[in-house]
Amino acid sequence: MTVAAKNIPITVFRTPSEMQAWSRDRRREGKTIGCVPTMGALHDGHLSLIRASAAGCDETIVTIFVNPTQFGPDEDLGKYPRDEASDLKLAVAAGATSAYCPAVEVMYPENSSVHVVEVNISTGLCGESRPFHFRGVTTVVSKLFNACLPDRAYFGMKDYQQLLVLRRMVRDLDFLLEIVGCPIVREPDGLAMSSRNKYLTDKARVDALCLRKGLDIAEQAFENGIRDPKVIGEMVRDSIKQVESAEIDYIECRDAEDLSEIETIENPAVVALAVTIGKTRLIDNTVLSPDKERKDV
Ligand code: PAF
């Protein structure tokens, strides 16, 4: 059943068939559709994606679904922040024109037994410490695409590996849509916006700045001409290690297009890191681009 959210001027769809019917109607009218998949707990990072979609498409669907299949058994599924009404208000103010918010039983009917798995880009970095995470992401995003039928889908570059995995999925499975990667949105002091920042205590919030500081060091080293990814990685590690509460999961400098390991930085490379501060696992990254350097000269 289609439900108009109480006092919020947006129509919320709860089932794939209703969502598809709405999108098909819009397409018949010749409208373009943007989709912004989220797990709710919207912050300025999500809102920047909704604004980008609203600027580039006639209609913007925000999806809100806390996807159980991308959480590991010891992760924060149970306590993940949920406030649909407040998320919908924010989404409408940023330009969303409809919302898709299915229940878990609708997304995963009993006996669901099909997964979408990417087997290359998804294996290292976050894929190593969160073994089923990307399988959960690719499966749910495929289902969101099949329900929303978008022309474009917007994802933040903070989840850099996710962005590349989804691009590869769209290419390899011939989804008829374009993935648009949008810049990381940061707090004024540099911390990348994330729904998980809410878990940080005051002290952890200060300690969390070591991620951005580490990336600043990587950028500086690159500007100073260092091209060895291992040397850059070690410099970042030395800096983050100075923060006692920081537990490093990984710091990697890899090829920016497919995350393959590199000997030297000749093409754009990404420095990606995952660090747990207290109990909160945070990720961040920066892209080092030799081309950009050449352009500036
Ligand atoms: O980036 C996220 O919030 C999630 O991984 C996504 C893409 C909405 C899939 O659940």
Q: Where are the domains of the chain?
A: 2-182, 195-288
Query: What is the sign of the dihedral through the CA atoms of 105, 109, 111 and 115?
Result: negative
Tens-place pLDDT, residues 151-208: 999 999 999 999 999 999 999 999 999 999 999 999 999 999 999 999 999 999 999 9
| Domain 2-182, classified CATH 3.40.50.620, yes or no | yes
Which numbered atom of ligand 1 lies nearest the CA of 38?
8
Res 195: pLDDT: 94
Instruction: Check if 133 is active-site.
Output: no
Which numbered atom of ligand 1 lies nearest the CA of 65?
10
Please work out whether the CB of residue 64 comes within 6 Å of at least one atom of ligand 1.
Answer: no
Listed in sequence order, the residues at least 6 apart from 258 whose beta carbon sits closer than 8 Å to its beta carbon are 120, 121, 164
Rounded to the nearest 5 percent, the helix, strand and coil shares of the chain are 40, 20, 40
Ligand 1 centroid – CA 39 distance (Å): 6
DSSP conformation class of 3: E
The architecture that CATH gives domain 195-288 is 2-Layer Sandwich (3.30)
Please work out whether the CB of residue 139 comes within 6 Å of at least one atom of ligand 1.
Answer: no
Task: Give the type of residue at 200.
Answer: L
Task: Please name the residue whose Cα sits nearest to atom 3 of ligand 1.
Answer: 38
Categorise residue 41: left if φ over 0, alpha if ψ from -120 to 50, beta otherwise.
left
d(CA 297, CA 282): 34
Res 117: pLDDT: 98
pTM: predicted TM-score of the whole model, two decimal places = 0.96
Res 41: pLDDT: 97
Confidence of residue 3 (pLDDT cuts 50, 70, 90): low
- Whether residue 8 has pLDDT greater than 90: no
Tens-place pLDDT, residues 90-125: 999 999 999 999 999 999 999 999 999 999 999 999
Q: Which of 255, 81, 247, 273 is nearest to 159 (CA)?
A: 273
| Least confident stretch, 5-14, 35-44, 110-119 | 5-14
Tens-place pLDDT, residues 234-249: 999 999 999 999 999 9
Query: What is the sign of the dihedral through the CA atoms of 200, 206, 209 and 211?
Result: negative
d(CA 154, CA 36): 5
Q: Is 174 exposed, middle or buried (0-12, 13-18, 19+ CB in 10 A)?
A: exposed
Res 282: pLDDT: 98
Please work out whether the CB of residue 38 comes within 6 Å of at least one atom of ligand 1.
Answer: yes
